[in-house]
């Protein structure tokens, strides 16, 4: 059975970020590796020649699938090796923090990935091996990705705060239309923290030269593979489809002003100098409404002196009294076991879809205004419900604010993660055992 192309696509968004440039199956070919010397020392750990060669094979495969020409071997090697180093410093940090993913947890993750592909875990493992990949090595890569995400949650995401003024500013800015989606490609020329003006000028000159080459007709993706320091460099800089709200603010603002196929000027962020290309755009703003239901109910529960049959009989008696004309609110205050609505005569207020349990909502959906239901049971007990009215409410602004809050959190997290990761990388002890690797790393930066 051949592994479908999407089968190894990560289930979680964080896997997409962490596997960029390496792929989920970088471990991969089952053939034995003859080279197994230390090529880089990372703090108290190492990266072996065999690891790099496996990652290189997978990077070449990814580039070929995108029908792009691979960059020179030394450039590709530098790109791939840097990503291995970034993974290693993060897993080392996680170990220091006591963050680990045991086999039971990893099996749960692998099972979820298999389910996403319509397979059992055993069938998924068989499919992976059928494509000539090392399933056990794949498991360890996913363990690393889950570990790194937990580390990121602890050291970055948990510290991100979104305020109401943040949301107001976001909604008033250009490109804040979270319903519009953009497909962008990005070339990043990184500027290290604390870089001198000379280094900054060199980075800017490199970005300007790349923009000139793009305008002269060179392929954006090929230049990204060979020159970009971004996480998606080996994908030709492709950021895939993202809503405007999910992009960094400066990206969203610039993308909103580009035409399809157009390339931006060079611009600067905290990471360095960027050039982006708008590959495609889709979607747009639209009004959102929901149907809200205003109802009231009387709940009869079982207890120490009333079993389920007796609760049902009491609910039936209350229903008959209501049909005979007795006041709903008065009976609710006297008999209902729902502490949240009892004192208000059983009134539940206007509620949007999804608030009530499915059985309760289903009964309400069958009623006409002012109609009273026959007794019915949910997990809470026996109910007699009355639909008072329905209304359509425009929730566009509410949903925009909710999406804005999520988008701002995502943006802030991404920005803080980049800063944190660069700091972690800069603080690490890195020793290249092969001089050419050290020189290639300098060229990449």
CB burial of 134-165 (b: ≥16 within 10 Å; e: otherwise) equals bbebbbebbbbbbbbbbbbeebbbeebebeee
> Is residue 17 very low, low, confident or very high in pLDDT (cuts 50, 70, 90)?
very low
Angle (CA) 160 270 188, round 5°: 120
pLDDT at 34 over 80: no
Give the chain's mean pLDDT: 85
> Is residue 442 very low, low, confident or very high in pLDDT (cuts 50, 70, 90)?
low
- Residue 64: what pLDDT? 84
Tell me the pLDDT tens digit for each residue of 227-239: 998 888 888 999 9
Set out the domains of the chain in order of their start, with CATH numbers: 13-155 (1.10.4030.10), 164-286+398-444 (3.10.50.40), 290-394 (3.10.50.40)
Spatial separation of the C-alpha atoms in residues 70 and 63, rounded to whole Å: 6
pTM of the model: 0.56
- Residue 25: what pLDDT? 41
- Residue 421: what pLDDT? 93
- Residue 255: what pLDDT? 87
pLDDT at 27 over 70: no
Spatial separation of the C-alpha atoms in residues 303 and 316, rounded to whole Å: 17
Percent above pLDDT 90 for the chain:
55
pLDDT at 153 over 80: yes
Tell me the pLDDT tens digit for each residue of 304-341: 899 999 999 999 999 999 999 999 999 999 999 999 99
- Residue 3: what pLDDT? 39
pLDDT at 188 over 80: yes
Cβ–Cβ < 8 Å for 394, 289: yes
Tell me the pLDDT tens digit for each residue of 383-427: 999 999 999 988 877 878 888 888 889 888 988 998 899 999 999
> What is the CB-side half-sphere exposure of residue 167 using CA atoms within 13 A?
14
> Is residue 271 very low, low, confident or very high in pLDDT (cuts 50, 70, 90)?
confident
Spatial separation of the C-alpha atoms in residues 129 and 136, rounded to whole Å: 10
> Is residue 203 very low, low, confident or very high in pLDDT (cuts 50, 70, 90)?
very high
- Residue 35: what pLDDT? 53
């Amino acid at each position: 059975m051949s592994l479908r192309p999407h089968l190894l696509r990560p289930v979680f968004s964080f896997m997409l970020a962490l596997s960029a440039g390496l792929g989920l199956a970088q471990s991969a070919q089952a053939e034995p590796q003859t080279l197994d010397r230390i090529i880089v020392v990372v703090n108290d750990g190492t990266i072996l020649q065999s690891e790099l060669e496996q990652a290189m094979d997978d990077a070449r495969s990814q580039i070929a699938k995108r029908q792009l020409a691979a960059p020179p071997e030394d450039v590709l090697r530098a790109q791939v090796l840097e990503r291995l180093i970034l993974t290693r410093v993060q897993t080392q940090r996680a170990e220091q923090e006591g963050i680990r993913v045991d086999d039971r947890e990893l099996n749960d993750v692998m099972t979820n990935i298999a389910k996403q592909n319509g397979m059992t875990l055993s069938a998924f493992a068989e499919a992976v091996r059928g494509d000539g990949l090392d399933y056990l090595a794949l498991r360890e890569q996913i363990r690393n990705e889950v570990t790194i995400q937990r580390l990121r949650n602890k050291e970055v995401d948990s510290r991100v705060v979104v305020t109401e003024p943040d949301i107001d500013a976001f909604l008033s800015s250009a490109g804040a239309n979270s319903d519009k989606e953009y497909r962008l490609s990005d070339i990043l020329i990184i500027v290290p923290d604390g870089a001198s003006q000379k280094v900054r000028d060199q980075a800017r000159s490199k970005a300007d030269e790349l923009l000139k080459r793009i305008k002269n007709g060179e392929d954006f993706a090929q230049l990204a593979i060979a020159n970009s320091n971004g996480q998606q460099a080996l994908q030709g800089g492709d950021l895939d489809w993202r809503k405007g709200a999910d992009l960094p603010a400066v990206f969203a603002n610039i993308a909103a002003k580009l035409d399809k196929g157009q390339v931006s000027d060079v611009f600067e962020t905290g990471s360095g100098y960027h050039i982006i290309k708008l590959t495609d755009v889709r979607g747009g703003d639209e009004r959102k409404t929901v149907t809200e239901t205003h109802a009231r109910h009387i709940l009869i529960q079982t207890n120490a002196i009333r079993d389920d049959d007796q609760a049902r009989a009491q609910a039936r008696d209350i229903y008959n009294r209501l049909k005979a004309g007795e006041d709903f609110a008065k009976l609710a205050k006297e008999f209902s076991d729902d502490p949240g609505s009892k004192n208000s005569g059983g009134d539940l207020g206007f509620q949007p879809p999804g608030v009530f349990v499915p059985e309760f909502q289903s009964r309400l959906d069958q009623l006409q205004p002012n109609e009273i239901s026959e007794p019915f049971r949910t997990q809470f007990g026996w109910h007699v419900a009355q639909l008072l009215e329905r209304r359509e409410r425009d929730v566009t602004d509410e949903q925009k604010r909710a999406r804005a809050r999520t988008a701002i959190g995502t943006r802030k997290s991404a920005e803080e993660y980049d800063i944190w990761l660069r700091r972690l990388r800069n603080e690490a002890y890195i020793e290249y055992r092969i001089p050419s690797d050290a020189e290639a790393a300098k060229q990449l930066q």
